[in-house]
Structure 1
Amino acid sequence: MSFFERQEKARRNTKLLVFLFALAVIGVLLAINGVTFLIMIKYTAKTPWGPSTSFPITPFIWVTGITLIIMSVSGYLRWKKFGGSGENIALYLGGQRVSPQTNDPQEKKLMNVVEEMAIAATIPVPPVFILKHENGINAFAAGTTIGNSVIAVTQGAIDMLSRDELQGVVAHEFSHIFHGDCRLNLKLLGYLAGIATIGTIGLQIMRSLSYRSHRSRRQKGGGQVFWVGLSLFIIGSVGVVIARLIRAAVCRQREYLADASAIQFTRFPEGLAGALAKIKFYSNGSFIQSHKAEEVSHMFFSSAFRQSLMATHPPLDRRIALIDKRFLNKDFVQQRSPQPLKAPKTKPNENLSVKSIFKSLGLPQEHTIFAAATTLQELSNPLLESARNENKAPFVALSLLVSPNPQVQKEQISLLCETFHCSKEELQQYVQEAQNLPASKRLALVMLSISALKQKPESQRKLFLTAIQALIEWDGHLDLFEATLLLTYEHYLKKPEKKEYNPSETLIKKTQEVRTVLSALADYGHSDPQQASMAFKRAYKEAIGQISNKLTQNDYTGRTFIHALKQLQNLKPLEMKKLVQSCLTCIEHDGQTSPKELEMFKAICLTLEIPS
């Protein structure tokens, strides 16, 4: 199953989840209306309807409407509380953000693992949090998109897990991000909160009446109100139980998929199996002490509470057995030695095929993770640390786009120093180092710098985007790769726009945008105009199913290319699959994929939030 098919499956699961929760809500509404019906019979002086009168439907309409409003508002407020952001959830649970420049050995180990995984997948490095007061071995990923997701790990996991075991846990959480599970998890919070509100209201009614005397309740009708409160409490509680059963059924299957994906990422099943085994044999297990953890328990790597019928995770023994049964033996686990990071057994072919590149989307390969670790080791320490630093990251990012022409470079550096009040010597050093980097290391700096730049205030992010646009348009010509980088920084640093998938929208309705992107890509990778034209026609037919002529280089600009990519960012997963396949077909038309073309393709994927 490809990345896009997993994304499509996540969308279908969301629809199924909405349907099941809708049934639960209907059940709650029917029960509340049943209570209303009994109250009308018991406490109305005369039968509210008879042979000559119609059934009074108005009270039931009011009860249904008010109940729906209460549930909807409650669910929305819960969603709004977290703002659709993984960072808000991490802070809600008491998480402390880890600085990418930390000197703590354990925190540095965690940051290196997360950075390697992000760079291997060509996505911005997500913020990392530690739950300092939690001694159980656990972790979670949260967020609505790749761009706003975070990774959180308990102190117990950092203290107890070796590097390869921690890598298995982090790979598991990354798979949740890639598969779209994190967005589904946040929706679950809202759905559960809405249903639970009914029971909470009933409980509050009973508590408020408990302060009155029995005599007072009798005289003032408190008894009737008490029974209404009790009914609401029971209905709400049953609704919550049903909702949690639905949540458990959906979440368990996703955990199996995340385990399988983590093993595919690392090609080292012993790491993940070792982490699960330590949870099994460790006295604190994976338990979370915070009382706030219950509502987000479905997000964790392992069960935050004891297993039950409503457990959101499969039994540990079954998860371990599916990976490696040896880890069910406590002696084996205790005698096992941590495994150092090793080079992959087989080296990838430098001239990658379309099939192999497409297969790796959303599924970082063993060699890409090792290559990411090597990249972090080979980058000069000043450049690497500056890319991680929110104050110096703008200079590293801008240095990638400064002109190689000595005279133009001098003018650009002077302008940047004046704008950002930085040292000219320091910026020149960044430019000199950055411009000698190979393609893979340039993208690594982009992904590290995005993570750091997101910490800056909005006004400073806008200033940075203005500066990067000025550099790119300095000579009046917008290079295709530079245009893609501009769109990448805009996409991740501006306020995120809500993604809306239109079921009826297809590539057929975006023919001009597809034509622009493929024409630009064909010209970028083929110096021979005839080869570029043939590459375009082949790719366009694959995407649209029709024949068309390539746009000339005078027919499009970097700006129109950026606009076209923006219009294609919200395609449905299976339509996005066709677009990506056509881009790869265009690149490989001449039978080879150069590092320059691969870098360009990865940059496009970065703007589309496709791990590559």
Structure 2
Amino acid sequence: MNFFERQAQARRNSTRLIALFSLAVLGIVVMVGVLVVLIVGPRPGPLLAAAVATLAVIGLGSLFRISSLRSGGETVAQQLGGVPVSEDTRDPQLRRLRNVVEEMSIASGVPVPKIYVLEQEAAINAFAAGYSTSDAVVAVTRGALDRLNRDELQGVVAHEYSHILNGDMRLNIRLIGVLFGILMIGIIGRKILIHGRGFRNSATIVVIGGALAAMLVGSLGMLFGRMIKAGVSRSREVLADASAVQFTRQTAGIAGALKKIGGLDSGSRLAHREDAEEVSHMLFGDGVGLSGLFATHPPLIKRIQALEPGFRPDHLTRLQQQWMTHPPDGLQEDLALGLVAPSEALPQKDRALAVTPPMVAAQVAHPHDDDYARAHTLVMAISDPLHDVATHREAAMPLVLALLFDDDEGVRGRQHAEIVARMGASVATEADHLRETHLLELHPMLRMPLASLAFPVLRRRPRPELATFLDTVHAVVHADQKVSLFEYCLGRLLEVQLRETLDPARNIRFGRRKPGNVKQEFATLLAVVAQAGNPGDKGAAQRAYLAGMQRVLPRDHVPYAPPAGGVQALDDVWEPLDALDPLAKQVMVEAITASVSHDGQVSVAESELLRTICGVLHCPLPPTLEQLPH
């Protein structure tokens, strides 16, 4: 399956989750009804009251937990004792982790997520959590940092990125919320039993009896909850392992991590078992030790054998004996193995890439071949001073604003004035300085990676500052009608990602619209893209427009009519197009690509424009388009 099919599958899984949850609720209501009949007999009044009370407890419990998770993945990481990894960390293990995550983000075309370490966990494990790529969190245990070498850490992180890209992450966090409801009755029973010891005589018997009955019902809820998590999780873990191999182009990394889980006493089971139970379905490895019908992960040996068919259980036994006396050290293994990512030169700015629409659509959220190595190349191509600027709390905002500056001096003057009016002269001056010293000769392929590196710093700013910054970005982008399409789209991408950070649960949903319902929006987007790619050549622009429309609406005739407002006409198209059905988005990406590549080639600048548009529409595209053989 490609990205769009997996998104459609994720939406179906959400529907399946609702159905399973409904069946679990029905089972709990029936059991409560049976207990009421045993206690007071088959009387309609008590039965109805018990059913309503049960539904109310479950519903309110789920709503409470879902509400507590509205801020996204960070809540889950903090609940498990996660400690954030700062952008300027100098700790070798944390720096290695951040480098791996940053390169993975650039390779996959998504914002750099927040990074957490579960410092109190000696086991090897990890998870990704959040509602969208904009509020995602990647967390690894201290055991993973200590024991895994760089290849193995890459494999684990790539596995988690598969969950981010496939839509699993959103389903996982919703699963935490809805399952909490069916556990509520058991939780209430335990609380009553703990705090009801002060009652005496007959009251004690009633309290203890009620508490035991609630705990019995809660056990049924736990049973249902584990079955639902196992049913939703197991197949996705197999897919994530396979996706990690496609991403990193080697099996040794993720297979090595799995072997270390099986060969070390600490394994993958988390010390905080109660919290681990709630998130067991989203962990890299089995965090609680469940098996059989309730296992959230396939057996460890089978996962390893899927990657290395010749691996046998006795091999794992030998590794256990070896590591019992000499536990592995990840950083020392890096030195011994000489793990240095391959490097290659960036393509020339005027180089043309030969691509096809299906090729680009297939790459969306599906990095493969050398994408990870290319991402490493991009990160290495960013000078250390510029990297430090992008990850510095006070410099990130001026840097991003400088990326949006127009080449025209008059337009840039108006943009400068907009910054002064909203954020002060010092920010505007710093943006000017950064443009002059770092950005004038910046390769076009480095603009989005720079914005990605700055993103984690930006979203940690206080809400009022972030709101002012977004207002400034909007003003800079719309300073006049001469803003370039890239500057407009990069500004829009920043707005989308940062606004989702402010309220992630509200901004993410699966779309259901079909192309026929957004004909005019398609026409506007493709007309703007065609005009921007062929300035001054109306005939070529029209041919580019028609190439795109033929892909998405082959039976409809929508005349080419460049909007009078230029790129600003796109303000009205993003929301309807982002609400497209996942499979319709695949056709949309193919249509945009057909328009950009109507002459058979795509320039480096056009490929970055395509990536930016895809990012705005939540279709993350790797940084370097594949090339057809000539």
User: Greater shift after overlay, 520-529 or 158-167?
Assistant: 520-529
The offset of 1:224, in angstroms, is 5.3
Return the match for 1:379 from 374, 379, 382.
Answer: 382
Determine the C-alpha separation between the residues in 2 that align with 1:469 and 1:192.
40
- Cα offsets for 1:395-447 (capped at 9, x unmatched): 11111122324565467557646734537775444203213222210111121
The offset of 1:311, in angstroms, is 2.4
1:300 aligns with: 283
The offset of 1:326, in angstroms, is 5.6
User: Greater shift after overlay, 342-351 or 356-365?
Assistant: 342-351
Determine the C-alpha separation between the residues in 1 that align with 2:483 and 2:45.
65
Larger Rg: 1
The offset of 1:84, in angstroms, is 4.9
The offset of 1:492, in angstroms, is 1.4
Return the match for 1:232 from 214, 229, 233.
Answer: 214
Relative distance call for 1:165 and 1:67 in structure 2 (3 A) is same
Determine the C-alpha separation between the residues in 1 that align with 2:158 and 2:388.
24
Q: How does 1:516-527 map to 2 (within 5 A)?
A: 516-527=524-535
Relative distance call for 1:423 and 1:3 in structure 2 (3 A) is closer
Return the match for 2:548 from 539, 562, 575.
Answer: 539
Relative distance call for 1:430 and 1:272 in structure 2 (3 A) is same
Relative distance call for 1:207 and 1:89 in structure 2 (3 A) is closer
CA contact (8 A) 2:4 2:585 kept: yes
Relative distance call for 1:572 and 1:410 in structure 2 (3 A) is closer
1:469 aligns with: 474
Unpaired segments ≥5 residues, structure 1: 42-47, 49-55
2:267 aligns with: 285
1:507 counterpart = 2:547: no
- Cα offsets for 1:31-68 (capped at 9, x unmatched): 11122223332xxxxxx8xxxxxxx6343332212211
The offset of 1:570, in angstroms, is 2.3
- Cα offsets for 1:112-164 (capped at 9, x unmatched): 00000101112110010111111111111000111111100111111111111
Determine the C-alpha separation between the residues in 2 that align with 1:283 and 1:346.
44
Give the counterpart letter for 1:14 in structure 2.
S
Relative distance call for 1:508 and 1:170 in structure 2 (3 A) is same
Q: 3-state DSSP class of the match of 1:200?
A: helix
Q: How does 1:24-423 map to 2 (within 5 A)?
A: 24-41=24-41, 57-207=44-194, 210-213=197-200, 216-217=201-202, 223=205, 226-291=208-273, 292-309=275-292, 310-325=294-309, 329-330=315-316, 338=337, 340-343=339-342, 350-406=353-409, 409=412, 412-413=415-416, 416=419, 419-422=423-426
Return the match for 1:451 from 441, 448, 456.
Answer: 456
2:627 aligns with: none
1:430 counterpart = 2:434: yes
The offset of 1:468, in angstroms, is 2.5
Relative distance call for 1:353 and 1:4 in structure 2 (3 A) is same
User: Greater shift after overlay, 461-470 or 146-155?
Assistant: 461-470
The offset of 1:342, in angstroms, is 4.1
Determine the C-alpha separation between the residues in 2 that align with 1:403 and 1:345.
30
**CA root-mean-square deviation:** 2.6
Determine the C-alpha separation between the residues in 1 that align with 2:390 and 2:194.
56
The offset of 1:557, in angstroms, is 2.9
Determine the C-alpha separation between the residues in 2 that align with 1:380 and 1:179.
33
CA contact (8 A) 1:206 1:229 kept: yes
Relative distance call for 1:487 and 1:409 in structure 2 (3 A) is closer
Determine the C-alpha separation between the residues in 2 that align with 1:173 and 1:599.
25
Relative distance call for 1:560 and 1:226 in structure 2 (3 A) is same
CA contact (8 A) 1:89 1:142 kept: yes
1:598 aligns with: 607
Q: 3-state DSSP class of the match of 2:578?
A: coil
CA contact (8 A) 1:276 1:320 kept: yes
Give the counterpart letter for 1:289 in structure 2.
A
Relative distance call for 1:238 and 1:189 in structure 2 (3 A) is same
Determine the C-alpha separation between the residues in 1 that align with 2:443 and 2:162.
28
Relative distance call for 1:206 and 1:429 in structure 2 (3 A) is closer
CA contact (8 A) 1:397 1:446 kept: yes
Relative distance call for 1:146 and 1:226 in structure 2 (3 A) is same
Give the counterpart letter for 1:580 in structure 2.
V
Unpaired segments ≥5 residues, structure 2: 622-630
Q: 3-state DSSP class of the match of 1:384?
A: helix
Give the counterpart letter for 1:298 in structure 2.
H
Q: TM-score normalised to the size of structure 2?
A: 0.88
- Cα offsets for 1:359-397 (capped at 9, x unmatched): 111111232211111111111222111111221111111
The offset of 1:203, in angstroms, is 3.5
Give the counterpart letter for 2:79 in structure 1.
Y
Determine the C-alpha separation between the residues in 1 that align with 2:469 and 2:236.
39
CA contact (8 A) 2:418 2:472 kept: no
Q: 3-state DSSP class of the match of 1:130?
A: strand
User: Greater shift after overlay, 396-405 or 25-34?
Assistant: 396-405
Q: 3-state DSSP class of the match of 2:128?
A: strand
CA contact (8 A) 1:519 1:550 kept: no
The offset of 1:603, in angstroms, is 0.3
Determine the C-alpha separation between the residues in 2 that align with 1:533 and 1:426.
41
- Cα offsets for 1:279-305 (capped at 9, x unmatched): 111121112112422211221110112
Relative distance call for 1:543 and 1:339 in structure 2 (3 A) is farther
Which structure's relative contact order is higher, taking Cα pairs within 8 Å and 6+ residues apart? 2
Relative distance call for 1:500 and 1:403 in structure 2 (3 A) is closer
Give the counterpart letter for 1:559 in structure 2.
Q
Q: 3-state DSSP class of the match of 2:267?
A: coil
Determine the C-alpha separation between the residues in 2 that align with 1:103 and 1:206.
49
Give the counterpart letter for 1:510 in structure 2.
V
Determine the C-alpha separation between the residues in 1 that align with 2:171 and 2:139.
18
Give the counterpart letter for 1:290 in structure 2.
H
1:584 aligns with: 593
